[in-house]
Amino acid sequence: MRAERAAAAAFVVSLLASVALVPWYFAGGGPRGEGILLGLALGGLGAGIVIWAVALMDTPEVTEERAVHFEHDTSTVPGTVTVARRTLLVRLLGGAGVTLATAIGIPALSLGPRPGQSLFRTLWTPGARVVDGEGNPIRVSDIVPGQVITAYPENHPGSADSQTLVVKVAPESLALPEGRADWAPEGCVAYSKLCTHAGCPVGLYRAESHELLCPCHQSTFDVLTGAQPTFGPAARALPQLPLAVDDDGYLIAQSDYTEPVGPSFWNMT
Amino acid sequence: MRRPQPVRWVDERLGAGHWARKALKKVFPDHWSFLLGEVALFAFVILVATGVFLTLFYRPDAAPVIYEGPYEPLQGQEVSAAYDSVMRLSFEVRAGLVMRQIHHWAALVFMASIVVHMMRVFFTGAFRKPREINWLVGIGLLLLALAMGFTGYSLPDDLLSGTGLRIAYSVLISVPFLGPYLAFLFFGGEFPTEGIISRLFVMHVMLFPALIIGMITAHIAILVRQKHAQYRGPGRTETNVVGKALWPSQVFKSTGLMLLIAAVLAFMGGLIQINPVWSYGPFDPTTATAPAQPDWYIGWLEGALRLFPPVEFTVLGVTFPSTFLPGIVIPGIAFTIMTLWPFIEARLTGDRAEHHLLDHPTDNPMRMAVGVGGLAFFVLLTLAGGNDVLAVTFDLGVESITNFLRIAIFVVPLLSAGLAYRLARDLSKVG
């Protein structure tokens, strides 16, 4: 009766562990003790039952005939009334049903606004000062080369879709696309921080190779060439914010971004 | 006069005796691989039990509050009410952390047992006529389980889950013509939105569980109606089922199995930390962490996004964004093939007969090749989803790992499918 003794021991372990759980809880608990005691309580019970079933039950193997080979049943029950075909009614019934389903489904549109222009715009406006996360305006002379600053339009620090990276590089090293010659005063370039692939904040900067790196899918962008992608799954450059310096030496935006920021969508061009 | 026993009381009102006697005699073929689906079922039971507890403390609310709990590094910081409530569950509610961790581990085991159960059904041909419907129900359950996992781990509103939501938004927005509308309807506007947390909560605790319970019921009802398939063996034919009766051995074994699974999950939940949202910090739309890893069953989708080359093109003014092919089309094709496999195989082999005796995996080289190749594809994509972790682990550049995997994703599945085909063919010749 070794099996019986083993099953009994397992049940006793379970019982003791369950009893111990109570004072443990009232003494303040803690995941380790709870996990171990609960595991012993459940495991003892389970082990005991399995030992009982496997070693102490003499269950014969039985054979059951499989009566289920289903056939397509074409018989009709006597007394069933058949519905006469009325084409007009059937069509109208279908039409009314579909219309009703559509009408009932329409309120689902309340779930969200139409995208409208919101994907094409950010909060940057012409002349908006560039501020840091605390809302302090950034002076062009305060930026240290090699440093990357997460910046926002004034009055909107923390804005999710306007978040922008400002980096200062040697002006002569820049090779920006045509028409952007006056977008980078004193070598200060600003790019949208939202990755053009899956929209993650492009949070890493390798100063020695002038590369911005997205932590999500490792898309890499070259700061010197207008944030053209150089590696990874992003296919589009990070949009560049045209910068200028105002009379007090603060960085300002010349305008909003000239293309949508963040992940692409079908009608963006 | 003898008082009626409860059983008789019920029987006299519902006439359930006949039905119950038949049910208790249901024959279960005795093989460990038939328990995999049960493991999934029991993990689900544990998920519901722990989930109810968590629901009583969780607040589905994105409104900002100041964290004032005992976890010092975050004291005084602005967090969402949702994150705050998960922190309270983890540090202040007695038995809260162990419940959270058991719930999370149970979710991982739930998904794993579903996938392994599905592999059993696939490789033994258990999806063939008359069981195609239950294969479809199973695919539905797989999709719902994925949806449960994704909505569940988004609820704590921590930095990691916020990143996952952001990627989901970006993939959704990439759908041609409909993307922006779908994304705005689902999220309630442009990411990040305040309303998404409460929406995910309703799906996670009400909509999806109700659907899962309904589909599990259908899954089991169809199984009972059609009776179990069985492996070949002495005395086993296409027209019988050989095994042990539900009562008592199967009831005992299954109950024991459920308790043992619960025990393993309790040990894991108590001893192995999972999803430490306090160290990730609250969601902040201007930050992302690296390395960021989703739960294992999302890894292959993440891997497809990481591995796919930068392809974005515009046709007739319609842009196909870089996440569209890897994020929508590839998973779409994978799930379509999986869903339709019973019908695809029937067409390829011309075998439309009824099958109650299961194949050995090597009996059908073509199916073996497809399954092994598909698994290799899945595993490689999952590895790609952790390319940054691999880079750190093996001290290699993430670029070289990605470039390597971009080639391997074609070579390895084809090679392993070919090997599997030959192996299966040779083995079935021997047999």
What is the per-residue pLDDT for B431? 56
The architecture (CATH level 2) of B28-359 comes to Up-down Bundle (1.20)
Tell me the pLDDT tens digit for each residue of A207-252.
999 999 999 999 999 999 999 999 999 999 999 999 999 999 999 9
Nearest alpha-carbon partner for B292 in B308, B280, B278, B284: B280
- C-alpha separations of A63 from B221, B238, B359 in Å: 21, 12, 20
What is the per-residue pLDDT for A68? 60
| Residue A184 counted as domain residue | yes
What is the per-residue pLDDT for B2? 61
Asked if B338 and B139 touch (Cβ cutoff 8 Å), the reply is yes
Range of the structural domain that residue A182 is part of: 130-253
Strands B318-320 and A148-153: unpaired
| Residue A121 counted as domain residue | no
Strands B230-231 and B357-358: parallel
Q: Which of residues 138-197 of B touch A (CB under 8 A)?
A: 163, 166-167, 169-171, 173-177, 179-181, 183-192
pLDDT tens track, chain B, 431 positions: 465 688 888 888 888 888 888 888 889 998 999 999 999 999 999 999 999 999 999 999 999 999 999 999 999 999 999 999 999 999 999 999 999 999 999 999 999 999 999 999 999 999 999 999 999 999 999 999 999 999 999 999 999 999 999 999 999 999 999 999 999 999 999 999 999 999 999 999 999 999 999 999 999 999 999 999 999 999 999 999 999 999 888 899 999 999 999 999 999 999 999 999 999 999 999 998 777 889 999 999 999 999 999 999 999 999 999 999 999 999 999 999 999 999 999 999 999 999 999 999 999 999 999 999 999 999 999 999 999 999 989 999 899 999 999 999 999 999 999 999 999 999 877 65
Q: Which of residues 224-253 of B touch A (CB under 8 A)?
A: 225-227, 235, 238-245, 248-249, 252-253
- Look-up of token digits 């006069």: B1
Chain B: give the shortest CA distance to residue A45, in Å.
7
Nearest alpha-carbon partner for B385 in B167, B141, B123: B167
Residue after which a domain boundary falls, among A56, A71, A102 = A56
Residue B15 touches chain A, beta carbons under 8 Å: no
> Do A235 and B285 make contact, defined as CB atoms within 8 angstroms?
no
| Residue A267 counted as domain residue | no
CA angle A25, A27, A29 (to 5 degrees): 45
* Chain B CA closest to residue A108: B185
Query: Token digits for A243?
Result: 């910068």
- C-alpha separations of B383 from A84, A237, B296, B380 in Å: 61, 27, 10, 5
The answer to whether ipTM exceeds 0.95 is: no
Sign of CA dihedral B193, B195, B197, B202: negative
**Residue B72 main-chain phi, psi, to 5 deg:** -60, -45
Residue A187 touches chain B, beta carbons under 8 Å: no
Residue B285 touches chain A, beta carbons under 8 Å: yes
| Count of domains observed in chain A | 2
Residue A27 touches chain B, beta carbons under 8 Å: no
Distance CA B307, CA B323 (A): 11
Contacting residues of A for B101, CB less than 8 Å apart: 31, 35
Residue after which a domain boundary falls, among A38, A56, A74 = A56
**Residue B148 main-chain phi, psi, to 5 deg:** -60, -45
Q: How confident is the model at residue A184 (pLDDT cuts 50, 70, 90)?
A: very high
Tell me the pLDDT tens digit for each residue of A67-106.
767 788 888 788 888 888 899 999 999 999 999 999 999 9
| Residue A94 counted as domain residue | no
Residue B271 touches chain A, beta carbons under 8 Å: yes
Q: For chain B, give every domain's residue range.
A: 28-359
Query: Token digits for B2?
Result: 């003898």
Asked if A63 and B235 touch (Cβ cutoff 8 Å), the reply is yes
What's the longest Cα–Cα distance across chain B? 88
CB-closest option in A34, A35, A65 to B240: A65
Give the 3-state DSSP-derived string for chain A, with helices as H, strands as E and coil as C: CHHHHHHHHHHHHHHHHHHHHHHHHHCCCCHHHHHHHHHHHHHHHHHHHHHHHHHHCCCCCEEEECCCCCCCCCCCCCCCCCCCCCHHHHHHHHHHHHHHHHHHHHHHHHHCCCCCCCCCCCCCCCCCEEECCCCCECEHHHCCCCCEEEEEECCCCCCCCCCEEEEECCHHHCCCCCCCHHHCHHHEEEEECECCCCCCECCEEEHHHCEEECCCCCCEEEHHHCCEEEECCCCCCCCEECEEECCCCEEEECCCCCCCCCCCCCCCC
Residue A21 touches chain B, beta carbons under 8 Å: no
Domain CATH code at residue A155: 2.102.10.10
Distance CA A196, CA A52 (A): 61
What is the per-residue pLDDT for A81? 83
